Chains A and B, each alone.
Chain A
């Protein structure tokens, strides 16, 4: 059990003019921990994820990240170049729509290899070998390495996006509705894959989802958001089996049983 948190979040708020995106969110995330952020559309989940991943600047609050050199850095006071380097190496971001996270007009192999080149890898043979290794790990046939993601199905695109993110061995991955828009059998395959990778690589992850079954399967801890605030948080099975807040009880009781 690692003793220090990877991410420390204190009182983070984001306002869009007078409208609230998210307010006073605080938590800590440890290495290897998977945190699910759930809530309905407009509850502030995606705003929070954008603030955490420096895609949006919070209106107030502090987010500190434990760098590989052992120091905590305040993300708001980090230079643009340092933030981008973090995004390319130590972090991953899996978008709901793979087209937002992939380059659709270059080959699958290049999509994966590009992240490696960004961290200074220059040897073509090595890059291609790791690209094809990662395609295999996300169950994309090696014969597809030179195809563009335009020619891939939705599920394959999403798996390619995951490979692209994980090839640099990040320590923290943000995922925004990673299984949204996929049909159930494709979703099951992706969930199984993500679950295995998170476990094998010891990744920390923050997963935004409105699907409580996805949260149950993938996460250790859960935060429930409503109107921009975190209204309940705790161990995932505790929140789902014994929800305390009225809104969480409503969410849990609204799950369709199969």
Chain B
């Protein structure tokens, strides 16, 4: 079976120059791979580096050491060392991300925010909006909200916009940072179904889920991130 994502010996630390250059090691020797159709969940207590790993996989955190290999457009790309425009290209066609919080853009409607990744892939506006509407309906977002910019939405409403935006494309790799944290039971079930759908399509998923019920429903494998603690490796 294909393996679209391979993480090999990745290490990350922060140097806080505003605090006398104190160096905070975050993770070391992170190695795992994700097969097509598999959902790997990053587990472990808060502050252990789960979100940092996801952010490195998406390219918004830099990587000190190691490789992040992704199958993109028929070739292998090392995202840890890729040029910015390569990272953007990988994000456009291969790599999706549902962040914990929606970054709202002034004046852009919920529907257009969801449709945007499809339009970036060349789908015509009308079709992209139709598919966006179908997803928002599936996630039970009231229709009155679709035409409004989500800045004033509740946490759960914003999160559903964010999920729809992440799930609308057929990206081969999808990263999920607590997508169900502020959802009610009914919508959590919808998201669990959507994740199952992605797995059936052969998407490789990496996620963080604090909700044990959701985690057990979607995870094929749980990786304990405390295994990647830098202290452990220093010893």
Contact = CB atoms under 8 A, between A and B. Distances in A.
A244 B108 CA distance: 32
A250 B17 CA distance: 8
A153 to B, nearest CB: 18
B106 A191 contact: yes
Interface string B42-62: 000000000000010001111
Given A242-B62, A244-B62, A246-B17, A192 B108 contact: yes
A245 B17 contact: yes
Nearest to B15: A244
A30 B60 CA distance: 21
Interface stretch (A11-19, A109-117, A231-239): A231-239
A235 B18 contact: no
B105 A238 contact: no
B216 interface: no
Contacts of B55: 241-242
B75 interface: no
A41 interface: no
Contacts of A250: 17-18
Interface residues of A, number: 23
Most chain-B CB neighbours within 10 Å: which of A192, A217, A235, A241?
A235
A50 B85 CA distance: 25
Interface in B91-116: 105-108
B26 to A, nearest CB: 11
A1 B85 contact: yes
Contacts of A238: 59-62, 84
Interface in A179-229: 188-189, 191-192, 195, 217, 220-221
A253 B55 CA distance: 19
Given A188-B106, A191-B106, A33 B62 contact: no
B104 to A, nearest CB: 10
Given A235-B84, A249-B17, A242 B107 contact: no
Nearest to B58: A237
A1 B60 contact: no
B1 interface: no
A33 B107 CA distance: 23
The residue among B18, B55, B84 with the most chain A CB atoms within 10 A of its own CB is: B84
Contacts of B105: 192, 195, 217
A250 B21 CA distance: 12
B16 interface: yes
B106 A246 contact: no
B13 to A, nearest CB: 11
Interface in A241-257: 241-242, 244-246, 249-250, 253
A241 B84 contact: no
A188 B105 CA distance: 9
A237 B60 contact: yes
21 contacts: A1-B89, A30-B85, A33-B85, A189-B107, A191-B106, A192-B105, A221-B84, A221-B85, A234-B62, A235-B59, A235-B60, A235-B87, A238-B61, A238-B62, A241-B60, A242-B60, A242-B62, A244-B15, A249-B18, A250-B17, A250-B18
Interface of B: 14-18, 55, 59-62, 84-85, 87-89, 105-108
Given A192-B105, A234-B62, A244-B62, 10 more contacts: A188-B107, A191-B106, A221-B84, A235-B60, A238-B61, A238-B62, A242-B55, A244-B15, A246-B17, A249-B18
Interface of A: 1, 30, 33, 188-189, 191-192, 195, 217, 220-221, 234-235, 237-238, 241-242, 244-246, 249-250, 253
